[in-house]
Amino acid sequence: MNKIYRIVWNHAKRTWIVASELSRSANKSNATNTSLTTNIIKLSTLSLALSAGFASAATYSPTYGTIPDNNPQTSIAIGDGSKVNSTLVSTITGLEGNSGKVSTALGYNTTATADFSTALGGFANASFASTAVGGQATADKRSVAVGYNATAMGLREVFIGDHAGLNHSNSTEYNIGIGYSASSNVTGNNTISIGNTAGDGTSGSHNIAIGTYANAKLAGPTTNVTSDDNIAIGNSALANGVNNYKTTAATGETVIGKATAVGSHANATGIVSSAYGAEANATAIHSTAIGAKSQANGDNSTAIGYEAKTSGHGATSLGYYANATANLTTAVGTNAGATSDYASAFGREANASGGSATALGNRATASGAASVALGVSAKATNQRTIAIGESSNASAFNATAIGRNATAEHTDSIALGSNSVTAIAIPTTNATVNGITYSDFAGTNPIATVSIGAEGKERTITNVAAGRISLSSTDAINGSQLYLTQQAIGNVAATTANILGGGQLLLKMEISLSQPTL
C-alpha cells in the first residue's frame, strides 16, 4: 500500500473508515470475523484506488490538507493547501481548496465556504448552502450553478449551461436558466429561460422564454425585456409588453407586460398582446397575431393568416394577405382589404376602401363612402351606391344596380334586372296628340329614372296594382284602367254617331266623325 491512507475504527459510528496516516486513531478492536475481514479487504482496495489517483511515484509527491483539531472522524482534506473549516462531516479534495461544515469541495482551488455547500470543478465556488458544478462555476444563497462559468448568485436560483446566469444581479431570486448563456445579465425575478442566450438582459419579472435567443437582446428592437408576465417560445421570439397605458381605476395605475410570443422570431411587444407563428408580430395593446408573418399593429386588433395585417384600432383581418388597415375594419378572405374606417370586406380580393363601405363576394369592390357591393366582381364606386349581382355596377351618387351586369350610371337612378341600363331623366311638362296639346301634369320634375331593361331589350311590367287617378296622382296606371278609359271613349263615339245619324262611322277608335249623308 502507498502509506497515504490506513484503516481506523470509528467508535462513534461503530464502523471502519479510511483516514490519513498522519491522523490520530483509536486502537483496533481484537474482535474479528468473516464480515470484518471482508470490509477490510474492500477498504484496502478503495485505498489502493485512491492512492493511484492522487500519487505517482515517478512524477508527483502527495501532500495532505488540514483538518480542524486533527479529527479524522468528521472531515477529509486531500491536496496541497486544501482546508476544511469545520469538524462536521466535510470533504475537500484538490489543491488550495476550502470547505465549510457538511460541505464538499472537489477540484483545484475549489471553495465550499458555507455550510451545506457543494463545489465541484476547478475554481468552483459555492457558499450559503449552494451547489456549484463546473470550472469557475459560482453559486450562492441556496442556488445551483452547473456548467463552465455558470453563475447563480441570487436566492434559490438554478442556472445550467456554459456561462448560464453570467453577470446577472446578485439581488435577484427564483430565476431559472438552462442553456448556453441563458439568463445572462438578468435583473428581474421569477423568470424561466431555456435555450442558448434565452432571456439575456431580462429586467422584468415572471417572464418565460423558451428557444434560442428567446426574449434576448438580439431578438428584437428593444434592448431587453423590461415588462412582467410575458411568454416567448421559439427561436428569437420576443414578448415584451413595453407600451404603458393608464387604467380607469382611481389610482391611475400604470400597467405593462403580459405578452405572449410563440414561434421563430415571433414578437409580442404590446400590453397583453399575443403573437403565434414564425415572425408573427403583435405590437399594440391587446393585439393578437396568429400565423406566419402576421402583423397586428392596432390596439385591440386581430390578424389571423399568413401575412394577415391590421393597423387600425379594433380591426380584424382573417385570411392569406388579408388587410384591415383602418379603425374598426374587417377583412375576411384571401387578399381581402378594408382600408377605410368602419369598412368591411368579405371574399377573395374583396375590397372595401370607402368609409363604412361593405364589399361581399369574390373581387367585389365598394370604394364609395357607405357603399355596398354584393356579388362576384360587383362594383359600388360612388357615395351611397349599391351594386348587387355578378358584375353589377353602380357608379353614380346614390345609384342602385341590381342584377347581373346591371348598370346604374346616373345620380339616384335604379337599374333593375340583368343587363338593365339607366338613362338620364327627362322632364315632361306637356304632350301634343293629333294637334291637341295637353299640360298641367303632376310630377314634371323627375330626379332620376328606374330602368328595367335597355334599348332593344325592353321588359313589360306585370302585376301592377291600379294607380290613383286624380289631377295630382303620379301613380302608375295598369292595363285594366286604360281599358276602361278606352271603353268609355268608344261608347261616347258610338253614341255621338247614333245621335247624328246618317250612317256616321267610328273610325279606328280615333274619335273621328265623317260628314253625314243628306
Q: In the structure, what pLDDT confidence band is assigned to residue 356 with cuts at 50, 70 and 90? A: very high
d(CA 202, CA 120): 29
The angle at the Cα of 181, spanning 179 to 187, to the nearest 5 degrees, equals 115
Whole-Å CA distances, 427 to 5, 339, 460: 126, 40, 22
d(CA 370, CA 384): 5
Cell output for 343: 369598412
End-to-end CA distance of the chain: 173
Residue 27 is classified by DSSP as P
User: Strand 436-439 to strand 430-433: parallel, antiparallel, or no bridges (unpaired)?
Assistant: antiparallel
Query: Which residues, in sequence order, are CB contacts of 499 under 8 Å at separation 6+?
Result: none
- Does residue 484 have a pLDDT over 90? no
At position 99, the amino acid (one-letter code) is S
Instruction: Report which of residues 516 and 248 the model is more confident about.
Output: 516
- Closest of 161, 218, 167, 223 to residue 193, by C-alpha: 161
Cβ–Cβ under 8 Å, residues 254 and 229:
no
Cβ–Cβ under 8 Å, residues 59 and 43:
no
Work out the number of other CB atoms within 10 angstroms of the CB of residue 447. 10
d(CA 373, CA 357): 8
pLDDT of res. 125: 93
Q: What is the pLDDT of residues 174-232, one digit of tens each?
A: 999 999 999 999 999 999 999 999 989 888 888 899 998 888 765 444 447 888 888 88
Domain boundaries, the chain: 5-54
d(CA 440, CA 410): 27
Q: What is the pLDDT of residues 427-482, one digit of tens each?
A: 999 999 888 898 989 999 999 999 999 999 999 999 999 999 898 999 998 999 88
Residues forming beta bridges with residue 64, ordered by sequence position? 78
Q: In the structure, what pLDDT confidence band is assigned to residue 87 with cuts at 50, 70 and 90? A: very low
